[in-house]
């Protein structure tokens, strides 16, 4: 009696696993790979200025670079399918071929290279601080002693603060940056931290404009790469497309639009132009 029950449970689990596998296979052949049909690109849907989805219209710097690169690879704008690529799902989306490439503030790291390939970087960001517009005593990470700082749970930024600065700083971890900015404007936290360009995008939002500013003293180097499936052969072609975009001035234009009105200037040494990583 007991035995049959266990076997039954195992059979059920196996069936479930197979069904799931079948689903993800369909997803892969359905909208991935297809040269003539189109291309599926993963972006963030919730990062104003970088990857932001309003209705079905995406906007932001990541989106502009993605459109340009896709165009160079032979896909017109209406052949692009936009998929949401939340941080925790980026590797899975690529390794199961549910998306063909990802432009989503995706920092190139060795651990990630174990699972995916990267082209680029197309931008080098740095961790920075967003503070109230009239704040003058926070000028960098060493001026945070006794201050309340907000970042997103599980993010690189929060982890760096914990490891290097948490002694004197109070770290509030929230599910998203929108909550952090709310707490900043309410005055309960003194600063919000993540990559400078993300902060600039948040600051450029109409509801926050004029109330906050980016400090402009970065303390890390985040190389935003184009995430690709591990067996992809498009790295070289994408790098060429990015080079062309920078040379033509479209890259600078997209950057200016994304961060308009925040006085944000990206780190010029690292971004003129960003040095490509080898395509391996």
Partner 1 sequence: MQEYLEILREYDVLGAFWVNIQLALWAAVFSLVLGTLLALLRISPISSLQWAGSAYVTVFRNTPLTIIMVFMVLGAWGQLNVTLSSDFNLNFFWLAVIALTVYHAAFVCEAIRSGVNTVPVGQAEAARSIGLSFLPAARLVILPQAFRGAVAPLGNVLIALIKNTTVAAAASVATETSSVMKTMIEFRPDYIYAIFFTFAIGYVILVTPVGLLTTALSRRLAVAR
Neighbours of 65 (CB within 10 A): 26
Give the closest residue to 216 by CA, choosing from 179, 267, 165.
267
Is residue 277 at the binding interface for partner 1, with CB under 8 A as the rule? no
Cα–Cα distance for residue pair 188/193, rounded to 1 Å: 14
Cα–Cα distance for residue pair 70/40, rounded to 1 Å: 10
Cβ within 8 Å of residue 120, ≥6 positions away: 108, 223, 224, 225, 226, 238, 239, 242, 274, 276, 277
- Interface with partner 1 in residues 101-130 (CB under 8 A): 111-112, 114-115
Of 59, 71, 81, 87, which one interacts with partner 1 (CB under 8 A)?
87
Taking the least distance from each CB to partner 1, the nearer of 116 and 245 is 116
CB of 174 to partner 1, least distance (A): 6
Structure tokens at 252: 């600078």
Taking the least distance from each CB to partner 1, the nearer of 188 and 211 is 188
Taking the least distance from each CB to partner 1, the nearer of 191 and 246 is 191
CB of 183 to partner 1, least distance (A): 5
Is residue 279 at the binding interface for partner 1, with CB under 8 A as the rule? no
Of 154, 168, 261, 263, which one interacts with partner 1 (CB under 8 A)?
154
The crossing angle, in degrees rounded to 10, of helices 196-203 and 250-258 is 60
CB of 190 to partner 1, least distance (A): 12
Is residue 71 at the binding interface for partner 1, with CB under 8 A as the rule? no
Cα–Cα distance for residue pair 96/93, rounded to 1 Å: 6
Taking the least distance from each CB to partner 1, the nearer of 113 and 244 is 113
Of 105, 155, 262, 271, which one interacts with partner 1 (CB under 8 A)?
155
Cβ within 8 Å of residue 55, ≥6 positions away: none
Residues 163-202 as x/- pattern, contact with partner 1 by CB under 8 A: -------xxxxxx---x--xx--x-x--------------
Cα–Cα distance for residue pair 48/38, rounded to 1 Å: 25
Contact residues: partner 1, CB under 8 A: 87-88, 90-92, 111-112, 114-115, 148, 153-156, 158-159, 170-175, 179, 182-183, 186, 188
């Amino acid at each position: 009696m007991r035995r049959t029950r266990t076997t039954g449970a195992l059979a059920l689990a196996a069936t479930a696993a197979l069904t799931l596998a079948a689903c993800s296979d369909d997803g892969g052949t359905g909208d991935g790979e297809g040269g003539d049909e189109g291309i599926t690109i993963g972006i963030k849907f919730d990062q104003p200025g970088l990857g932001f989805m309003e209705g079905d219209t995406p906007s932001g710097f990541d989106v502009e670079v993605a459109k340009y690169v896709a165009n160079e690879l032979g896909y017109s704008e209406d052949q692009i399918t936009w998929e949401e690529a939340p941080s925790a799902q980026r590797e899975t989306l690529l390794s199961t071929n549910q998306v063909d490439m990802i432009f989503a503030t995706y920092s190139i790291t060795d651990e990630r290279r174990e699972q995916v390939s990267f082209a680029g970087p197309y931008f080098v960001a740095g961790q920075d601080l967003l503070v109230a517009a009239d704040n003058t005593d926070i000028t960098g990470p060493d001026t945070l002693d006794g201050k309340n700082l907000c970042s997103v749970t599980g993010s690189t930024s929060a982890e760096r603060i914990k490891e290097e600065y948490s002694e004197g700083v109070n770290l509030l971890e929230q599910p998203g940056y929108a909550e952090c900015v709310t707490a900043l404007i309410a005055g309960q936290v003194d600063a919000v931290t993540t990559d400078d360009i993300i902060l600039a995008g948040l600051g450029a939002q109409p509801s926050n404009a004029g109330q906050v500013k980016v400090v402009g003293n970065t303390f890390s180097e985040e190389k935003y790469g184009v995430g690709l499936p591990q067996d992809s052969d498009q790295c070289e072609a994408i790098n060429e497309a990015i080079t062309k975009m920078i040379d033509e001035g479209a890259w600078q234009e997209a950057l200016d639009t994304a961060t308009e009105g925040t006085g944000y200037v990206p780190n010029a040494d690292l971004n003129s132009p960003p040095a490509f990583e080898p395509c391996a």
